[in-house]
Structure 1
Amino acid sequence: MTNQSPTFLSALPQSLQWITLVAGGGLAGYLLHYIGLPAALFLGPMIVAVCMGVAGSSIHVPRLLFRSGQGIVGLMVAQSVTLGVLLAMAAEWHLMLIMTIVTLLLSAGVGLGMIRFGGIPASAAAWGTAPGAASAMIAMAEEDGADSRLVACMQYVRVVCVVMLGAWISHMVVPSESMQLSPDAAEVPLNLIGLGATLLVAFLGALSGRFVPSGALLTPVIVGSALQLLGWLDITLTEPILALAYGLIGSYIGLRFDRATVLRVARLMPTIVTANVALILLTTALAWPISWVFSRDFLSVFLAISPGGLDAMAIIAVETGSDASFVVALQTLRLIGVVFTGKLCAQVLIAIARRMNR
């Protein structure tokens, strides 16, 4: 690895770096929220964290805190899950399967394009374009012998691109005055027992993330929904807790963009960004006919098939009043499919790439 001189930011005490992240992220989130951008309290900290990471910051959000933030988002989604919603999703399994396959094929096509025209190694392109949870894809890529640092950069660049373009498209589709931090958060009286039980489920979900891919998000969705449907849990979330959860997730993702990683792949960055934007635009274009054929609103379909960022898409879905349960269900189905078939799909993509280069 190339030796790098210390930066001004890395020379600062970590306490000051944390203050910069919290204050800067909070201010950025407030400003974005003020102009009506969806997921502003997630985007603001993420943008500040990306800048700090590239500038040489030495701080990192502990993974348990990141997973706890995901657990809170999972319970936020679980709030919207009712028996009627579950029955509707069960009746639309064919729609979910079609959209999952379409997204996987688009991702594979973009991966082949990156290999053929962008000079990206086949193994890294295969895992870097896989539309699953970034952390799971990076871990699986490393086990498969791929360049995990390049895969990490590709995955997290895609997350940033998806979130930024997703927020912008949502802003164009949904009037800003209809956006909210959480469903009826201001109208529900505070239930301390419900709040304590909610935080406990979120923490248990965070612990499950060590054993289950994306378990920190999916476990609270499943457990929280089940307990709520049985009448055993009154999911209670306050705006400060949601804002903290958004900030933790955004900061964790942003700080992953360290100097070494960005400098190492700087030559490939235009290809990575272009490929990710192309993939997002393709899914956006497909969302229109799919939403028309299956009588779904465009924004819910777009968020459901967007390639990456399950937690971020859930946040945007809830804030814009989209069908969050549908979005999470479809994103989860794709995640499960990618986790179980990722190695096989990567091997097929690598084999096709080798034939193309003969």
Structure 2
Amino acid sequence: MALALPAALLLGPMLAGIALALGGGTIRLGRVPYILAQAVVGCLIARAATPDVLPALARHWHLFSAVILAGIAASAAIGWQLSRLGIMPGTTGIWGTSPGGAAAMVVMADAWGADARLVAFMQYLRVLCVALAATLVARFAAPAAAVAQVQAAVVWFPGPTAGWAAAAGLILLGAVVGLGTRLSAGAMLAPMLAGAFLRLSGTVEIDLPPWLLAVSYAGIGWRVGLGFTRSVAAYAARTLPAILAAIGALIAFCGGLSWLLARATGMDALTAYLAASPGGMDSVAVIAAASPGVDFAFVMTMQTLRFFLVVLLAPPMARFLAGRAAKHSGPGRDSGTP
């Protein structure tokens, strides 16, 4: 957090877990804490769905849909190539290039049998690269200072609110689904879908105290980091050029989409760029808020819709593309986990 990095509360524990695992540590996070952490992430996603986004969504739904689906299709094509060429094992490349919801993608990839360690490596490298690119495009609008101001203003232990009760109920729902069913990523998806419906209907508010988010992020980070081995770390290092090229291609493609969006709507180029930017939503929000003249509501409506679509479309897309990649790579291609 002192460096004002996006997703610092997850990246820090993950890096600490990697260091411990590579040093020979054998500590592991239990299943129940991990299920609860997934449920909290589901609530966090649901909280992003607000009634305020509906008017803008109704006015521009066709543009939103075209730009978001084009970005998702591009990420899927890039991930498919990584898998088909054997650069990433199995569906790892497909999950790792999904443009949004890094924490959610790590959780879901783990639930669906992909290598969550490499998915996390790809996702958080994407978050950092996208944040840097958006910062440069925003003409050095000092997002790091804005992040620091936001962090300084955080009240880590606020008083209880009615939204806590709603969050507790959704977390309990996620725990029941996660522990009592075989539904992949059910602990995250159940509170996400139920909470989003309640939020959009204006029925409830969902409040998540910062300390709970910090603990949950730490749990997911530790789970991923402690699973690293020296062979996985070496594999990630070897594939770094290919991963950076994939991220660069995705950023460039979304930049092209933003140009088309600006031309079609007449909005300013920076608003269009941030709206089409492939995540993460938190860092884009900070940059948009710190940039004068940006239509913040439009940017966050686009980012929120993309976030939900990526989470909902990722599992069937990964299964389909993994099958296609396996057919093209042939039986001699190694698709196992390093």
TM surpasses 0.5: yes
Distance verdict in 2 for CA 1:130–1:254, change over 3 Å: same
2:322 corresponds to 1:346: yes
The corresponding residue for 2:163 is 194
Distance verdict in 2 for CA 1:185–1:111, change over 3 Å: same
The corresponding residue for 2:278 is 303
TM-score (norm 2): 0.71
Mapping for residues 149-164 of structure 1, pairs under 5 Å: 151-164=115-128
Q: Report the CA distance between 1:254 and its aligned residue.
A: 1.2
Structure 2: where are the runs of 5+ without partners? Answer: 99-104, 263-270, 290-295, 334-338
Distance verdict in 2 for CA 1:36–1:342, change over 3 Å: closer
Aligned-partner Cα distance in 2 for 1:325–1:252:
31
Q: For structure 1, which segment, 54-63 or 68-77, has the greater mean C-alpha deviation from structure 2 after superposition?
A: 68-77
Q: Deviations over 1:280-334 (max 9, x none)?
A: 1111122222223224543443334xxxxxxxx4554566557556435324433
Q: Report the CA distance between 1:51 and its aligned residue.
A: 0.9
Aligned-partner Cα distance in 1 for 2:159–2:204:
14
What amino acid maps onto 1:329 in structure 2? L
Mapping for residues 25-174 of structure 1, pairs under 5 Å: 33-89=1-57, 91=61, 92-112=64-84, 114-115=85-86, 125-131=89-95, 133-134=105-106, 136-137=108-109, 140=112, 151-166=115-130, 168-169=132-133
TM-score (norm 1): 0.68
2:259 corresponds to 1:292: yes
Give me the identity figure in percent: 22
Aligned-partner Cα distance in 1 for 2:273–2:332:
36
Distance verdict in 2 for CA 1:353–1:63, change over 3 Å: same
Aligned-partner Cα distance in 1 for 2:320–2:301:
29
Aligned-partner Cα distance in 2 for 1:303–1:97:
11
2:233 corresponds to 1:258: no
What amino acid maps onto 1:108 in structure 2? W
Distance verdict in 2 for CA 1:325–1:164, change over 3 Å: same
Q: What number of residue pairs does the alignment pair up?
A: 296
Aligned-partner Cα distance in 1 for 2:14–2:258:
30
CA contact (8 A) 2:80 2:94 kept: yes
Q: Report the CA distance between 1:257 and its aligned residue.
A: 0.8
Distance verdict in 2 for CA 1:314–1:38, change over 3 Å: same
CA contact (8 A) 2:83 2:89 kept: yes
Aligned-partner Cα distance in 1 for 2:129–2:31:
26
The corresponding residue for 1:30 is none
CA contact (8 A) 1:198 1:235 kept: yes
Q: Deviations over 1:70-125 (max 9, x none)?
A: 3333333433422241454461222222221111112222334x43xxxx5xxx64
Aligned-partner Cα distance in 1 for 2:163–2:52:
23
* 3-state DSSP of counterpart to 2:79: helix
CA contact (8 A) 2:49 2:304 kept: no
The corresponding residue for 1:233 is 204
Aligned-partner Cα distance in 2 for 1:243–1:94:
35
Aligned-partner Cα distance in 2 for 1:191–1:93:
38
